[in-house]
Structure formats: structure tokens, C-alpha cells
Amino acid sequence: MMKLHLLRHAKTNPHSPTGLDFDRELLPRGYEQITELKNFLKEHPIDPKIILCSSAMRTRQTLAEFQGLWPSASIRFIDDLYLASKQEILSEICALQTSDEMLVVGHNEGLSELAMNLARPRHLLKTCGFISMEFPFESSAYISQDTGSILAMFRVL
């Protein structure tokens, strides 16, 4: 069984010092959301071996707060995950052709659309939203529409 987890970055400042969307940083509320998700993960632990993360500032900052939970995970910062579509994200996942548990840290709309495409019930990932899914395959290469089962979901109130 293949496990895949999707995490949307935490709450972010609407502006950045550089004026670029790519450089937007987390707000204090974002760090509060991360604390809430960490508490949720204590009861629903995951153990990703591979972490794919958009190279944008807000996704890197979000992941940095969780890295201590998975010290042996292989982290790959991928420029193409920045504001990627569901198909672009899925292509990155499938291309790995791995049986390793995986976490993707990214952005909407692509991340929510991917979550809704892979498993039911459909659900939108708000900031710091998290979904854990399982697939009846030995390789990420076979992950596709409606093949996942939801193991856990987290939504900040």
C-alpha cells in the first residue's frame, strides 16, 4: 500500500518585502495553525520517507516547522511545484515511481484539486490543510483519479 500526504502551506502575509508572491512569509497565525496540525499528527502520525516541497518561501517555512518530526526524510525543493496544477503535482509524484511514503507541501488551487481528484469525499485544503491517503499500489507511478482512500484529514478552524 502506497501512502501519500498533501499539506498546504500555513497562513501567509498577503504581501512580501520584495513585492513577489514567491517571497511571501508566514504570519503569526500561520505558526499557530502549524502548532494545531502538529497536535493532530501526534494522534495521526505519518512517516514520510520523501518530501516534495515547493521552493516558495511560505512552503519552505511551513516545512521547516515539521522537519524535526521526520529527520530521516529525503527533502526535495522543486521550483515547478510553485503554484503547480493538479496534473503537474501528480506528474512529480508519479515520476518518482517509489513505494516510499510521501509528503507534498504546496499551494492551492492545484493541491486542493489534486486531493479532490484522488479520493472521496471531496474536500478543499484551506491554509495548513492536510490530507493523508492510501493507495492499493506498490508504486507512486500508479496513483490516479479516485484510486485513493482517505486515512485522515485536518482542517484549521
> pLDDT tens digits, residue range 132-146?
999 999 999 999 999
Distance (Å) of CA 135 to CA 16, 49, 96, 127, 148: 38, 16, 15, 25, 5
> What are 64-121's pLDDT values in tens digits?
999 999 999 999 999 999 999 999 999 999 999 999 999 999 999 999 999 999 999 9
Q: Which CATH number goes with the domain that contains 120? A: 3.40.50.1240
CB 52 within 8 A of CB 5: no
Structural domain including 56 reads: 2-154
What angle is formed at CA 152 by the lines to CA 150 and CA 155, rounded to 5 degrees?
115
Number of domains in the chain: 1
Backbone angles phi, psi at 56, to 5 degrees: -65, 155
| Helices then strands, each counted (H, E), the chain | 4, 7
- The grid cell for 22 is 514567491
Q: What pLDDT is attached to residue 157?
A: 74
